[in-house]
Structure 1
Amino acid sequence: MMENLLNYTGAISDLDTRHQRYIDDLNDTTNFLKADIDQHESAQLKMSAAVSSLELFRLNQTLSKCDSDLKIGFTASVSSASCTWSSGTLVFPNHHKRWQRIQP
């Protein structure tokens, strides 16, 4: 009887050890999956922000193409070793046409 009791005690201890190992493995797997999900959620948020930014850029480009009365000015400088050219004005009458240089 005592021998059977020791066998059962040993078997229960072995089962308890295996059970604890399975629980530890499940916890490790759960933690790994949580970290993986967090990483994918972060990547998804970054991708969503990038898509939103591109959509806004596309919308701005579309709106700027529709507004033909929109005037845009800028300043440009040109370095040249030429002694004969002093200045000029660049005119961009339409983005489909070539630019032309107008003498002052």
Structure 2
Amino acid sequence: MLALRDGVTEELLAALAEGAYGRRTLPPIARPALVGWLCAVGGTTLEWIGGPSAPDRPGRARLGALPVRRPRATLAVIEDFAPECPAPPRAEEPFATVGDLAPVTGSP
């Protein structure tokens, strides 16, 4: 199971690098930042599945927007440490009007 998990993690990191930077390799500072984001996705999912059920608990679609929007901040931090890895430009419009992917890709 660990080998399978590690293989999936490596492929996800390579896909993230390719989408963000146009290459499948990451500078050393970017790897732990993106691994941290992947862990946050897993933690968010497990919390939603097993966490306390409450009337004000976020719905599935709203909760799903968290891990989609969070990478933009991670990519901005990576850029601070590795200028050769610029973050995508920020969307000009508020999140609600441009869709959930705009904070990551810079386009609606």
The TM-score bracket by the shorter chain reads under 0.3
Q: Considering fraction of residues, name the structure with more strand.
A: 1
What is the TM-score when the length of structure 2 is the normalising length?
Answer: 0.25
What is the TM-score when the length of structure 1 is the normalising length?
Answer: 0.26
Q: Of the two, which has the highest radius of gyration?
A: 1
